[in-house]
Amino acid sequence: MDKTDKSLSLKLIAIKRILVNKGAYFDGEIRRFSLNDNKFQLAKQPGKDNFKPLIMIVSRKYYQEKQSTFPIDDKAELNKLLKIQFSSQGRTSYCINDIKNGKSYVNSWSFNYNVPDSVIILPESLLFALTIPDKQVLNIKKVNEEELFVVRSQESTFSLVLNSNINTIQKFSLAVGVSQNGNAKPIKTGEFAEGLAEGCNHLTLSLLTRFLSSVKSENNTKLITSIIIPVVSIFTGYLLLSSTYLVYEKGRLEAVLNSQNQEVTA
């Protein structure tokens, strides 16, 4: 494992530990994460303690997902419009996926009020979409025996819970209006938690802040700080490790080239 892979691995391990200590998954019940012998898992049974997670990853059944296109290519103007549009919609987060050819592509997620309050509320479909290339479909088997289709197209996320009407990749692709490449990639139940962690690993800080909720609490600032500081530390550490590695490689290559030039001159 080279230094770049090692830094990525350390970042993923740190994210898993944050999810174990500060996070949970909601599918009608709050389920905790665990990390034992490097095996990252989600509890099959809901927790019975009074744990209040600061990061909540939410099952697809508990939010509405929407894709929108706007005839605007100015990001600042688009942000103003989106803030106005979504300000009256409680528990809704959005992100700008792409801006090109005079159009902007936006995803939005409106969370059910049954979802417990948390500082950061994340949709599971987005996390899985961040782990796949364009038009690759995921067929995800979840711990509660539900199945979920997820695809990414034009940087936007599309997903549906399998049901009696939509139970094949072809029907799913037709329903969301996205063509797919090849067969669906399966995510088994035992890989579900790993997939969520990997999705968190692909979150940028700017995207993460889109999912900060307006938790009404006297300790709101303290709660947000307890999440943001570790996340920023992870990203900063990762960037420092990557930069250090690049500087090291640059110096090593320059030394090799200088040595070769001296041999040629001799």
**DSSP notation for 8-61:** HHHHHHHHHHHHHHHEEEESSSEE-EEEETTEEEE-SS---S----SEEEE-GG
- Mean pLDDT for all residues in the chain: 81
| Residue 32: alpha-carbon gap to chain centroid | 18
Q: What is the pLDDT of residue 216?
A: 47
Q: What is the pLDDT of residue 10?
A: 79
Residue 118 has pLDDT above 60, yes or no: yes
Neighbouring C-beta atoms of residue 242, cutoff 10 Å: 15
Pairwise pLDDT comparison (35 vs 154), residue with the higher score = 35
73 and 80 Cβ atoms separated by less than 8 Å? no
Encode pLDDT of 188-230 as tens digits: 989 999 999 999 999 988 899 899 876 544 445 555 555 555 5
Residue 166 has pLDDT above 60, yes or no: yes
Q: What is the pLDDT of residue 237?
A: 55
Pairwise pLDDT comparison (51 vs 132), residue with the higher score = 132
Share of the chain above pLDDT 90, in %: 44
Question: CA–CA separation, 266 vs 263, rounded Å?
Answer: 5
Q: What is the pLDDT of residue 217?
A: 44
106 and 154 Cβ atoms separated by less than 8 Å? no
The one-letter code for the residue type at 254 is E
Q: Tell me the pLDDT band of 105, cut-offs 50, 70 and 90.
A: very high
Helix (H) or strand (E) holding 129: helix 124-129
Encode pLDDT of 178-191 as tens digits: 877 667 889 998 99
Residue 265 has pLDDT above 80, yes or no: no
DSSP code string of 60-81: GGGEEEEEEEES---HHHHHHH
157 and 150 Cβ atoms separated by less than 8 Å? yes
Q: What is the pLDDT of residue 218?
A: 43
Residue 158 has pLDDT above 90, yes or no: yes
Question: CA–CA separation, 51 vs 12, rounded Å?
Answer: 23
Q: Tell me the pLDDT band of 251, cut-offs 50, 70 and 90.
A: low
Encode pLDDT of 47-100 as tens digits: 777 888 999 999 999 999 999 999 998 999 999 999 888 887 778 999 999 999
Q: Tell me the pLDDT band of 175, cut-offs 50, 70 and 90.
A: confident
